[in-house]
Every structure is written in structure tokens, then in C-alpha cells.
């Protein structure tokens, strides 16, 4: 097990019923990883707990799973990282939701998920578990959610966008209240300017002098002259 971080998630005694009677065995659920984005889980049974754990570790090591992580531009520690995008997953009655964490967030999750993230080497993440607390289903849901996260390079290649347009930080900045209010104000200004141009153009092409009082006609002419002056500038 050198170079691997191993966590025993669950150990329980199970009974296998045979013709000769019940045979008591030990079931072990193990999560193992190298702390560098690669981890897996394994479940095995044996007569002794140590044999069950060793068997589960061999199963986990035989099926490694890699997760691409986002490293902060200016990390305080070399291993500061998180996931790229939020993810959701459901296995049976266990539901898992995870979000990228800002720097120094830490592992905001329960003990089982914390051990999984430790095997992957993820240092900052927010995870919420709902529904059943069955540890086997919870582990499967976490791995299913992590496997659904695509890298920005994959998304950019599929959509024909640049890397910066699909990163989580860029999307979060674009969806911030300040940026959203700026976009709303800009859209409102453009709409008002378009309506003003339409009215002034109609006055210029066919001024309704016969239907308006003299004062309103003079005012419209003055506004039209100002608009032409601003457009020329």
C-alpha cells in the first residue's frame, strides 16, 4: 500500500445462508487513492476483517478513477485545488450535490465524503448529501458525480468557445449581482435609445404638423436637431 491513502469506510458482519447453515463473514468497503487525482473504491468479503480489507484494497487498486482538478493561480500550499464545476448525482435513495470551493474553504462535507476527497487530493469543496445515509450508495454517488464533471477544455472543444468562457470563475463573475445589474441597465439604455431614434426618424420623414399644435412641432424640431448634432459628434 505504499504511495496510497487508504480509508476503511464501512466494516460489518454478514451471514451467508447455505444448506449447512449460516456462515458468518466480514464485509469491508475501502476507498484508496494516491492523493493526486486518482482514487477508487472496493468492496469485499472474507472470514477475517484484515483479509476483507486487503481484498477490497486490491479491487480498488485494480480499477483506478482519475478526476481533473482546478488549481488556484496563487496557492498558499502546493496542493490547494477544487473541482471545476458543480455536480449532482443519485444512486438509489442517496443524493449528492457538490460545488467548487474558494481558496481556504476546506472540506465542507461529512466524514465519508471527506475521506473520499482526501484520497483524490481535493482540498476545497462543498458537498451536501441528502436522502439515504447508506455508505455504499453514498460512495457510489460521489464517484458518479465526480465522473460527470467535464474539463473546461472538453467543453470548449464541444461548444467552440475559449477556455476562459467556460471556467467556473468566469461564469461566476459574469453572473454576479454587479455584472447582472450592469447588463440590465445597458439593455434598458439601448432600448430607450432605439425607441427615441424611431420616434425622431418618423418625425423627420413625415412630420405631423397638421395634427400637432405649433408649440409641440417646434419642440419636436428642436429635439430632432439636438439628436442630429449628437449623432454627428
Residues 41 and 204: their CA atoms lie apart, in Å, by 75
pLDDT at 75: 73
pLDDT at 155: 80
- Given a cut of 70, is residue 113 above it in pLDDT? yes
* Average pLDDT of span 83-101: 93
Query: What pTM, to 2 d.p., does this model score?
Result: 0.68
- Given a cut of 90, is residue 96 above it in pLDDT? yes
Which secondary structure element, helix H or strand E, spans residue 46, and what is its range?
Answer: strand 38-46
- Given a cut of 50, is residue 212 above it in pLDDT? no
- Given a cut of 90, is residue 141 above it in pLDDT? yes
Highest mean pLDDT among 6-10, 176-180, 198-202, 209-213: 6-10
Structural domains of the chain sorted by starting position, each given as residue range(s) with its CATH number in brackets: 5-66 (3.30.160.20), 70-162 (3.30.230.10), 191-232 (no CATH)
The CA-to-CA distance between both ends of the chain, in Å, stands at 75
CA-wise closest residue to 71 among 150, 167, 140, 202: 167
Beta bridge mates, 29: 10, 43
Largest CA distance in the chain: 111
Amino acid at each position: 500500500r505504499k504511495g496510497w491513502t487508504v480509508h476503511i469506510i464501512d466494516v460489518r458482519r454478514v451471514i451467508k445462508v447455505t444448506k449447512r447453515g449460516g456462515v458468518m463473514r466480514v464485509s469491508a468497503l475501502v476507498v484508496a487513492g494516491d492523493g493526486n487525482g486518482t482514487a477508487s473504491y472496493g468492496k469485499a468479503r472474507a472470514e477475517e476483517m484484515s483479509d476483507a480489507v486487503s481484498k477490497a484494497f486490491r479491487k480498488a487498486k485494480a480499477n483506478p478513477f482519475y478526476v481533473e482538478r482546478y488549481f488556484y493561480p496563487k496557492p498558499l500550499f502546493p496542493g490547494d485545488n477544487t473541482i471545476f464545476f458543480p455536480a449532482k448525482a443519485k444512486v438509489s435513495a442517496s443524493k449528492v450535490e457538490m460545488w467548487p470551493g474558494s481558496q481556504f474553504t476546506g472540506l465542507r462535507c461529512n466524514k465519508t465524503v471527506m475521506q473520499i476527497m482526501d484520497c483524490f487530493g481535493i482540498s476545497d469543496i462543498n458537498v451536501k448529501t441528502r436522502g439515504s445515509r447508506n455508505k455504499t450508495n453514498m460512495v457510489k454517488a460521489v464517484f458518479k458525480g465526480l465522473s460527470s464533471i467535464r474539463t473546461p477544455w472538453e467543453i470548449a472543444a464541444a461548444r467552440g468557445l475559449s477556455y476562459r468562457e467556460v471556467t467556473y470563475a468566469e461564469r461566476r463573475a459574469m453572473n454576479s449581482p454587479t455584472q447582472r445589474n450592469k447588463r440590465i441597465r445597458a439593455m434598458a439604455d439601448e432600448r430607450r435609445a432605439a425607441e427615441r431614434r424611431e420616434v425622431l426618424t418618423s418625425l423627420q420623414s413625415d412630420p405631423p404638423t397638421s395634427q400637432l399644435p405649433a408649440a409641440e412641432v417646434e419642440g419636436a424640431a428642436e429635439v430632432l436637431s439636438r439628436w442630429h448634432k449628437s449623432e454627428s459628434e
